Every structure is written in C-alpha cells, then in structure tokens.
Copies of this chain bind each other. A is one copy, B any other.
Amino acid sequence: MQIKEILKLTPEGQSIVVKGWVKTKRGQSNIVFININDGSTLKNIQAVVENGKISEDILKLATTGSAIAVTGKLVASAGAGQTMEVLAETIEVYGTADESYPIQPKKHSLEFLREKAHLRFRTNVFGAVFRIRHALAYAVHKFYNEQGFFYLHTPIITASDAEGAGEMFRVSTFEPNKAPLTPEGNIDFSQDFFGRETALTVSGQLEGELGALALSRIYTFGPTFRAENSNTSRHLAEFWMIEPEVAFFELEDNMNLAESFVKYVISYALENCKEDLEFLENRLLEEEKQKPQNERSELKLIEKLKFVVENDFERLTYTEAIDILLKSKPAQKKQFQYEVAWGIDLQSEHERYLVEKHFKKPVILTNYPKEIKAFYMKQDDELNGAPGATVRAMDVLFPGIGEIIGGSQREDNYEKLMARVKEVGIDPENIWWYLETRKFGSAPHSGFGLGFERLVLFVTGMTNIRDVIPFPRTPKNAEF
C-alpha cells in the first residue's frame, strides 16, 4: 500500500508494511525515528524503532536515501506534525545509500539538482512539481474528453514545417557526412529512410486541422521541437504542447475555449494538489525573502491561481493594446527598450506592462497585424480601426509567463490561403493535403497551442523551465 493510502487509514494497531526511501533518521539512546517517503505524496510516514527491536546492523544501513520496507503496527502518534506512525517490528533494507548519496537532508540549489536529474524526483520540491505536472496533464485529457474532443496523435517526424520558417532538427538514417548524392551532386534524400528530407515537428496543428475537419473536435498533446539556440529560463528544445482544433469555431468561440480550458486545469490542480501547492507556495515565500520588497509577488502562489480561475480574462484587440501602450507611462518616459508602434511584434516588456501593470490579470489580445503572424491565420475582412490588415489571431498572456497560448481562427478560403502560402514562400506541393481541405468541404475552424511547460511553470511558481520537465533538452544538453 502506498503511503498516500496508508495516511487515509484510521490507526488502530493494525499490521502494515511501509515501503519507501529514508528521508531522515534521528537516533536517540533508546528510540530511533525514521522518516520514510515513497513519492506518492509529499508527506512522510514515521517509523518508530524502540530499543532493541531491530538489530543495530540493520538500523545502521537505513541511512538517508536507502530503500527499506518496515513491517509493524500502525498507531496514533502523539508527536507533532503527524497523526499516525508505524511501530517497527522488522525492517528490510532493499538498497543502501552511503555518504556519497547526493540528496542529503540539507538545502540543495536547483542548479545542483539539475545535474542530478535522475535523483531530484526524490526531493520535496521536485516530487511536488512532478505530481502537479501529472495532475495538470490528467486534467487536460479530462477536460477535452468531457467536451467531446478526440485525442489525435499527429506525427512527430514530418516533411512539412507548420510555422513556415521554424528551426528544425533533422531526422535521418544517413551516416554523418556519408549521405549519397544525386548525379547533380545534391544530397539524394530519396535514399534516406523516408525517401525524403524529414525533421522533427514544430507543431501538430496542420495535421490537427485535418482531424478537426472530419471529427469536429480534436486535440493533440505531444512533444514538439525547436532547434533554436536559446539558452534562457523560458526555452526548451523539446517541449510538450497541447493543440485543440475545432470545426465551426470562430475567434470568439476559440477565446472562450482557451479561457475555460486554462481555468479548468488550474482548478483541477487547486483541488487535487493542495499539499504540494502549499509546499511550493512556502518555498516561494522563502525565496522571495531575499528579494527587495518591490520585486516580490503581490499575490501568494495559491491566491494567484485562484485569482486566475475566478476572474474574466481581459479581451482586447492588438490595436487597442498598442493605444494603451502608447499612452502608458513607460512609453511617455521612454522606458521601454523597444519602441511601441502599430505593426511591431510585442516584446516581453510590453506584454508584462499590459498584464502585470495595466490590467493586473490574464489578457487575450486579438486581431494582430497580418505581417507578424503565421500564414494559416484567417484574414480579417474589415480593418475595425486598425491602420493595416489584420488576422483573427489570439494570444493569451499570463503574469510572469507572457504568452501561454497562441491561436487563431484559420483561413478557410482556398484562394486567400493559397495567395498567402505563396507570399510567405512555402511550396504548395509540400502541403497539398492541407490545401485540399479548403477545396473539399472547407469550414470555419479555430484552434490554439498551449505550451505545457509554461503552464506547469505558472502553476508551480517555479522560475526555470528546466525545473518543470523531467529531463530538459537545451543547447549542448541531452543528458539522461
């Protein structure tokens, strides 16, 4: 039985076996207390070894990090911080851990633990983070299943490039520097495994649209890749993305879906991960004590999550946002590093101003300039006050995170889509199947992508994206 389940029992002297890893062992002359954790919950269970019950030889091996099984009686505990404990009768040591075990009971830096990613799951912080990550992933599937969506596994190895200009990882079975050549001296990809040039997907969206234009509601939840040399606390070369795609949805429906989706999964974590969230909230408070007052978060972690769940996201157009930014204090005082003007790609400083200073809540920006958005976004028929052509894009911006969701209504008009494809320089032959869906029963449809790790960052209050995925892939790092 897992510790999480044992802790739900009423202790009445029943026999019990506890299996897990020793967190701490405190010895006194005639009594020893061993704290055991099995990762099923943040909480430990304490085994009490009374004088002479267990041989010294065995007790000596039950050091921090060792794996043990304690058989004994589950009894109520008079000690502080626990309601029950196990009176040990026998202890079996499965595996020892000597002083070289890196996760000793003291504070370790997150950087140090990143080097020990194979063991960091055993710490309170990472146990909490990965239990919450699981809860969020489960909530994603639960939400979409309840809403009548079908989970679609779009391909990982692809010959297309959804963004039109992503930096992609090559996939090949050619020996390095031994690719065969055509008579003209080019690489002969027809001899490669797939008979063509292939790469790792940057998005399942294009294939997702094919599913939606048949099954109506689909979502993907899979790994995506960027071969960008970005060594920041916000970027991974390999990350998981959730991409719903819905036939007959227009931009407004898409915003409603995005907002209810994010609120649902955060609510789920609040309901199902209370202890872990409280632990991470306290961790964050400790961290922030070292910061000057004005850099500390205004809300505690759980308050922040509840705030997101309980309040409407602010919705406005890109054009309206530019107006607000132009009239803002930082713009007037020339404090923005990047100048504000209609047509720019909003920078992090602009998004943060809107979300954290102006609205103080999540914001959905819509109707971005066509030129700064992807080819597949539906073109607006009217300017609606914008000084240039816009598309039915929507970005959801979160405090501390920036863009957490990017999406749009998709261009469903064959001629407009084809014109845009050629304009941005994509070979129509390469995505003939995508274009054909606009020839055969095209329909309004919309979707978005949510970077799963950014969501986990937001919910856990962690600050480096490397700390919310089990084994991060970043430039010069593919360890484990």
Contact = CB atoms under 8 A, between A and B. Distances in A.
Given A156-B238, A440-B65, A39 B118 contact: no
A480 to B, nearest CB: 5
Contacts of A169: 157, 171-173, 193
Interface string A166-208: 0101111110111101000001000001111010100000010
Interface stretch (A75-83, A216-224, A327-335): A216-224
A434 B153 CA distance: 29
A123 B195 CA distance: 29
A62 to B, nearest CB: 10
Given A187-B176, A470-B152, A195 B138 contact: no
B40 A121 contact: no
A227 interface: yes
Contacts of A215: 39-40, 121, 127, 130-131
Contacts of A152: 130, 134, 470
Contacts of A476: 193-195
A296 to B, nearest CB: 31
Interface in A353-381: none
A158 interface: yes
A145 interface: yes
This chain: copies in complex? 2
Contacts of A479: 159, 433
B170 A173 contact: yes
A473 interface: yes
A145 B138 contact: yes
Contacts of A187: 176-177
Contacts of A238: 155-157
A130 B217 contact: no
A3 B66 CA distance: 57
Interface string A212-242: 0111110000110101010000000110100
Interface stretch (A94-102, A255-263, A310-318, A390-398): A94-102
Contact of A118 (B102, B222, B436): B436
Interface stretch (A27-35, A278-286, A418-426, A441-449): A441-449
A127 B66 CA distance: 51
A260 B92 CA distance: 29
A50 B298 CA distance: 63
A477 B101 CA distance: 48
A216 B38 contact: yes
Interface string A456-480: 0000000000000111010111111
B248 A19 contact: yes
A441 to B, nearest CB: 4
Contact of A131 (B20, B65, B130, B150): B150
B174 A216 contact: no
Contacts of A173: 167, 169-170, 227
A2 interface: yes
Nearest to A190: B476
A464 to B, nearest CB: 17
A157 B223 CA distance: 10
Interface in A38-59: 38-40
B150 A130 contact: yes
A148 interface: yes
A35 to B, nearest CB: 14
A5 interface: yes
A441 B200 contact: no
A151 B138 contact: yes
B2 A155 contact: no
Nearest to A158: B478
A441 B65 contact: yes
Contacts of A433: 117-118, 479-480
Closest 4 CB pairs of A and B: A95-B442, A121-B214, A39-B215, A67-B443
Given A141-B141, A159-B478, A171-B171, 12 more contacts: A2-B216, A21-B443, A94-B441, A101-B440, A121-B213, A122-B214, A170-B170, A176-B187, A177-B187, A194-B473, A194-B477, A195-B475
